[in-house]
Structure 1
């Protein structure tokens, strides 16, 4: 998969499937604009699209995919189960609704969106995802926002997620969660990979690296994620920014550059979005 001279790397997951390491996210994308924006992303060269039931824009994603003419096996589509759907029957129904909206017979990755620790245990829901995978309704399964506090309950089922999608950016690197994932060969997807506009990374060493190598601060940050072996899917409503983000796959950082960005980690103090403990 290329955008002019840029090749999008892929990673092999622990279930033997492959995933494009750089994708396109549609969090907070207006449903009325989703078809146009995803069409632009596909034309730019993205083949990995990340959506969720709660985003309310699965239908727009589906229309863009259908109109693109891109073969289904060249696409990687992720959606997520929202917090008000739990248990075998409700989980199955929710995936069916998402597939109908997306216009697909299966998704490539289905995630439990949040652990919701103050509500029902996620175990039955997780085991249902495994059944749906075995039935071919999703190719891979995983979780989202299951840090080191919540992932162990999933691991105890013996069904290991292919992916854990968590907030992760230079000042919040979730080292305990990523270490636990690594023990089980669970790939990390970084959401909010640029800090959701709440961190001035251009004023850090990232900006210095960007100036030295002739890239944008966002490209340097994306390249850092890629060099660290994570999957990342920045979003933008603007075609020129989509192109810029995609070109980050061609940005090469030195080991010293990666280490300098690693040193920006602030631990829990660096979180800019919701703590999974508080999302129920």
Structure 2
């Protein structure tokens, strides 16, 4: 299947303005968030094209300077999926379009490879997204964020065949117990990567924003509210730590994880 990765990046983030241009220190020196996300995309096997999608000249100029292809999009996009949908209108002819969000530079390449394979194997799915089972340590981190009033990672619940039931910024499902740091839990971390079939992606921007998407601020809920099949693909960490940059406090977390990868 001919596959495109688009990396949506906007400067005017409500929670973290200028986030794509934030510098992250790693074993290979200081690099911006958007550059590290682009490098993560370039490491994925079987991808035909990788582009950065933005409406901001500062991000575009920076991305072009380190060698990325840039597609300029309008400032009307309300989320990354709408921005990627606009990219798809400029770059037709792909069988799968992947949205690798620009705040997830630690995304291992096999997450995306497994995601694309999962979508290819389920002809009924309109969109696929990875989920990672939390161990006790990760679950404790999620709970600590919520107690402190921070938006940490998103969790997912799904039924038979991996069909998504719901996504939330709260920690779901409720477990009512604590777990050892290395103990598997029934809570799954939703990894912010999506693989879309072109028809479903094209329809997305024309759908109204529903009440669940409004309440949670999660773009993928629009597919569920429209009755579309969202496939959750369980992926394996293989010893790698994973986290997105959601808040300024996450910079130190990501830098620590980058140091551990050397």
**Normalising to structure 2: TM-score of the pair?**
0.31
Name the structure where helix makes up a greater proportion of residues. 1
**Normalising to structure 1: TM-score of the pair?**
0.29
- The structure whose RCO (Cα within 8 Å, separation 6+) is larger is 2
